[in-house]
Amino acid sequence: LLLCLAASAAAQSKPAPTQDQRMEWFRHDKFGMFIHWGPYSAFAGEYKGQKVPVGTEAEWIMQRFNIPVADYRETARGMKPVKFDAEAWVALAKATGMKYLVLTAKHHDGFAMYRSTVSKYNLLDWAKFDRDPVQELSAACQKAGIRFGVYYSHREDWDHPDGFGNNWDYDRTKKNFERYLDEKSKPQLRELLSRYGPIHLVWFDRGMDTPQHTQQFIDIVHELQPNCLINGRVGDYGADLMGDYQNMNDNGMPNGGLQEDWETPQTMNTTWGYSKFDQQWKTPGEVIHRMVEIVGKGGNYLLNIGPMADGTIPSPSVATLKAVGAWMQINGESIYGTVASPLTAQPWGRSTVKGNKVFLHVFSWPADGILRVQGLTNTVKAAYPLAAPSQKLALSREGGVPLVKLPAEPLDQNDTVIALELDGAP
Ligand code: FHN
């Protein structure tokens, strides 16, 4: 007993990690997988012959077609993800070069994709599917060295009678929002943070509109998992950032230089949840270029897949992720652990920076085979392609602008990365 008391006293006296300590992995890892998966995936973009238009969000189908709660719940009962394979999903994320993964544990529709004792409206009790995706993904991530996070819609809930939303009949004056928070939202967050081992990030969405409510959710996370990160959308009432980092709008970029850490969520096609109609897939080149732009401006990239209800990941996303992964295998050094580049966009592409190195991402190969690096005043000591580091490239200067003589052909059709070793940080 004495030993236990001493251990617990030691644990209590351990100082809480600083924000910089908590943010360390996030600042290094840069690239994560977002997964939107729930009963909306079973609708697959269609309800009684009505189709969710391509370009809009299929996970909002309940709201778009005013689907009555009872009808939506019937479809939710049919969620049988028999092909769900947590290890394969995590292996795909890893092969893509992603270092963290965030699953929708509960989206706005209110359905929990894990065994919840707070609400029977969950995959195990409601759909009688006797496996817990949060548990399986958490275990698979731990095994593979991927950081596991959960998305939790804390404010919006279209199933709970007092949850925020249900735009077709939501009348705030007739709702008891506090009751929803106390009997569902907060206890479910506690479940997620106390049953599944380390949760590295809670990704809140459509945040609270008061600092008081926002703080209550932050406090729960800090109480249960002091190392866990909280995204900026925990609160959504103005300019003050209360989470650990800022989120851009969906698919968005910052307007100017940002002081805070930030992340852009983007999806592989135009919907977050699965729609059988949306075939507007991004190409590997588009994904790589977007990632380089985000990382080159100092942000993180959270790229979303929308698996089908049975657990199958649409094959076009798998193909694109594998191609991105092949590029990351060779060029990952130019992404992980980098910081915002002081160089602006160049006619041929963009750049990322790590210590005394600048990585030049050549998206369009200059016709004369010469790369002009505008804005770089450092002395360049060496230049080589990341895909062939032993191939040293000839260097010169023209009017103060460093010039690099490129190989005859691009080494990658989407982005050939040229590393420059400098005399100091750029
Ligand atoms: O309303 C949601 C949407 O369904 C999706 O989850 C995205 C992902 O960032 N977030 C919200 C809108 O910003």
Q: What is the pLDDT of residue 19?
A: 92
CATH superfamily of 349-422: Golgi alpha-mannosidase II (2.60.40.1180)
Residue 174: predicted pLDDT: 82
> Distance of alpha carbon 63 from its chain centroid, rounded?
24
pLDDT at 9 over 70: no
Q: What is the pLDDT of residue 30?
A: 98
- pLDDT-based confidence at 15, cuts 50/70/90? confident
Q: Is the pLDDT of residue 11 over 60?
A: no
Distance from residue 314's CA to the centre of ligand 1 (Å): 20
Backbone phi, then psi, for 209, in 5-degree steps? -100, 10
Mean pLDDT, the chain, rounded, equals 95
Q: For ligand 1, pick from 248, 272, 274 the residue to mutate: most ligand atoms within 8 Å of CB.
A: 272
Residue 28 has pLDDT above 80, yes or no: yes
ipTM of the complex: 0.99
> SS3 sequence, 390-415?
CCCCCEEEECCEEEEECCCCCCCCCC
Q: Report the pLDDT averaged over residues 42-70.
A: 97
Tens-place pLDDT, residues 102-132:
999 999 999 999 999 999 999 999 999 999 9
**Predicted pLDDT at 281:** 98
User: Residue holding tokens 């819609």?
Assistant: 153
Q: Is the pLDDT of residue 213 over 70?
A: yes
Flag whether pLDDT at 214 surpasses 80.
yes
Q: Point out the ligand 1 atom lying closest to the alpha carbon of residue 267.
A: 8
Q: Which residues of 317-332 are buried (b: 16+ CB within 10 A; e: fewer)?
A: bbebbebbbebbebbb
Q: Name the H helices within 230-355.
A: 284-296, 315-331
Report the interhelical angle of 211-224 vs 186-195 (nearest 10°): 20
For 258-309, write each residue's pLDDT tens digit. 889 999 999 999 999 999 999 999 999 999 999 999 999 999 999 999 999 9
The predicted model gives 337-341 an average pLDDT of 97
Residues linked to residue 350 through DSSP beta bridges, in sequence order: 361
The per-residue pLDDT for range 152-210, each reduced to its tens digit, is 999 999 999 999 986 666 677 888 999 999 999 999 999 999 999 999 999 999 999 99
Write out pLDDT tens, residues 238-247. Answer: 768 899 999 9
Confidence of residue 1 (pLDDT cuts 50, 70, 90): low
Residue 98 neighbours by CB under 8 Å, 6+ apart: 31, 32, 33, 146, 303
Query: According to CATH, where is 3.20.20.80 located in the chain?
Result: 18-334
Pocket residue to mutate for ligand 1, from 202, 205, 267, 304, most atoms within 8 A of Cβ: 205
Beta strand pairing call for 100-106 and 31-35: parallel
Tens of pLDDT along 90-102? 999 999 999 999 9
Residues of the chain with CATH 2.60.40.1180: 349-422
Task: Name the band, by pLDDT with cuts 50, 70 and 90, for residue 257.
Answer: confident
Pure H helices in 145-253: 177-180, 186-195, 211-224
Q: In the 8-state DSSP scheme, what is residue 182?
A: I
Residue with CA at minimum distance from ligand 1 atom 6? 272
The rounded distance, in Å, linking the Cα atoms of 126 and 311 is: 17
User: Taking Cα atoms as reference points, which of 180, 263, 191 lies closest to residue 229?
Assistant: 263
In a 3-state reduction of DSSP, which class is residue 223? helix
Side-chain-side CA neighbours of 365 within 13 Å: the count stands at 15
Tally the C-alpha atoms within 13 A of residue 194's C-alpha that lie toward its C-beta: 11
**What's residue 8's pLDDT?**
54
Handedness of CA 272, 278, 279, 281 (dihedral sign): negative
Quote the pLDDT of residue 12. 57
DSSP letters, 365-396, are --TTSEEE-TT--SPEEEEEETTSTT-PPPEE
Q: Is the CB of 263 under 6 A from ligand 1?
A: no
The candidate with the shortest Cα–Cα distance to 345, out of 389, 274, 297, 411, is 297
Q: How far is the CA of 87 from the centre of ligand 1 (A)?
A: 25
Ligand 1 pocket member 272 (CB < 6 A): yes
* Helix orientation angle between 315-331 and 86-96, rounded to the nearest 10 degrees: 40
pLDDT in tens, 346-356: 999 999 999 99
Helix (H, G, I), strand (E, B) or coil at 72: helix
Q: Answer yes or no: are the C-beta atoms of 163 and 153 closer than 8 Å.
A: no
> What's the CA gap between 116 and 122, in Å, rounded?
6
Q: Which CATH architecture has domain 18-334?
A: Alpha-Beta Barrel (3.20)
pLDDT for residue 2 = 55
Contact 330, 82 (CB under 8 A): no
Residue range 56-66: mean pLDDT, rounded: 96
d(CA 324, CA 282): 11
Q: What pLDDT is recorded for position 3? A: 53
Tens of pLDDT, residues 321-334: 999 999 999 999 99
> How much is the average pLDDT of 366-380?
98
Q: Answer whether 326's CB lies under 8 Å from 287's CB.
A: no
The token pair that represents 177 in the structure block: 């929002």
pLDDT above 70: percentage of residues in the chain = 96
Q: Which helix (H) or strand (E) holds 24?
A: helix 19-29
CB of 156 closer than 6 A to ligand 1? no
